[in-house]
Structure 1
């Protein structure tokens, strides 16, 4: 049987889980300088996920880090991190059913919205920054 949490219990648990260092993985990236003559657009992004967990519970964020395309090559590594929905919604909470004040279960997208209200942007992105590429990746040392 699934565990059941009240909204208050869920909020306390979510704060605790997010404070733990997550497992972070980059799953795809694209750095393309573009070419106006050929109609190729400039692109710079990194997609990945981060999983915050404690025994029996986890919160997983799918995310995309978009580079700044308004400047020079170095600016492409000035990333803005935001949620990226690969499934139905992000973040995803696993481990329990969360009940509202009327003892009705919250839908998954409602739980995701509650997490985003509860957790500051810096709290869930601070671990991601360390795994993003830096401009030196373009320098080849033969």
Structure 2
């Protein structure tokens, strides 16, 4: 026979305390109030410290990290820095609506200061692919292609 208690270890420390669950939906840890949440396997690692768990917050809406699945997301300072890797490619935002970079897919987009500076290169933009199908570079028009 299988006992759930043998699968899930629960320890209570401070507030809703420390919860550890292994196997199934992966490891869950909570520390301090709703505290720290870590999930490994499945939808990837989620880290949350202070406030409403699952979100690491620093200044404003703070830092968000999610790995695997829809790729890495980071936010710093206000709506801050957003990075997404894998899937729909890399997105970066810095300071307010700030700097946006998209690589692969619809190409590189840059915004600086408010709605600010917008650059688009080579119809749907700069495409760089490294490893796998080899290095592809397109610059201006149908541009330069290297493999």
State the TM-score, normalizing by the size of structure 1.
0.21
- Name the structure with the higher helix share: 1
TM-score, reference length from structure 2: 0.21
Bigger radius of gyration among the two: 2
> Is the strand fraction higher in 1 or 2?
1
